[in-house]
Structure 1
Amino acid sequence: MVPECGGVRVQLSVGAPDGVGRRVVGVFSQVEGEGVWTRHASGVLSADVPGGGEGLGVWPPVGAVAVDVGGVYERLAGVGLEYGPVFQGVRAAWRRGDEVFAEVALGEEQ
């Protein structure tokens, strides 16, 4: 949660490359005055693009199938992930195999 007043630190970490050049990344936050960091996202960066990156110059991506995003925030809240109005920016999404592509915008309050 973003507090009503005070600050929040945001940190992006990028690890050292592994034996094949991949780097682990993470996004963290810490409410000002608290010692606990919360991880919000993690992933891996790589120069290799699965499948060679075909179709990434076209939007939506070639071969991707539209995903219904109606009610996405209600479903996320049902599993314990609650987002305030400013963070409810998913406008459209597509799936291609294990990949998910999304159009995301700032909330109306921005």
Structure 2
Amino acid sequence: MNKGIIQFGGNMENSQVAFGDGTKVAQKMQKNIKVIEEENKKDIEDDFEAIKRQLEDLNSRLSEHKSSLDELGKKTLILETELKEKNPNKERIKRCLTELSLIAFQTTTTTNNLLHILSAFK
């Protein structure tokens, strides 16, 4: 039986002591490489699935907030119309302003989520 040292990457830091004939040692190394490749492939697939879920979540949120932005346009028109009146309804104006603030907050949150998700692609 032969005894030798196998170097990985050209340095002794990652070396292994190997026992056996050269063919068996080479087969063991090939199996280890195959396992590492399979683990890397699994990690990549997991990362891809995580990104896919994030994008699906973002798509859902953007769809919700598109509706909110449509509502923002309606509320803005109501507010403009009310302000053009000689005697504007203060309660209606307050309600519109409150709703506009909420919609603006939702839009800001969506934008921040989008930036967070897109930063993962750098």
Say yes or no: TM over 0.5: no
- Name the TM tier (shorter chain): under 0.3
Which of structures 1 and 2 has the bigger CA Rg? 2
TM-score with structure 2 setting the length: 0.17
Question: Which structure has more helix as a fraction of its residues?
Answer: 2
Whose relative contact order is higher, 1 or 2, with alpha carbons under 8 Å and at least 6 apart? 2
TM-score with structure 1 setting the length: 0.18
Question: Which structure has more strand as a fraction of its residues?
Answer: 1
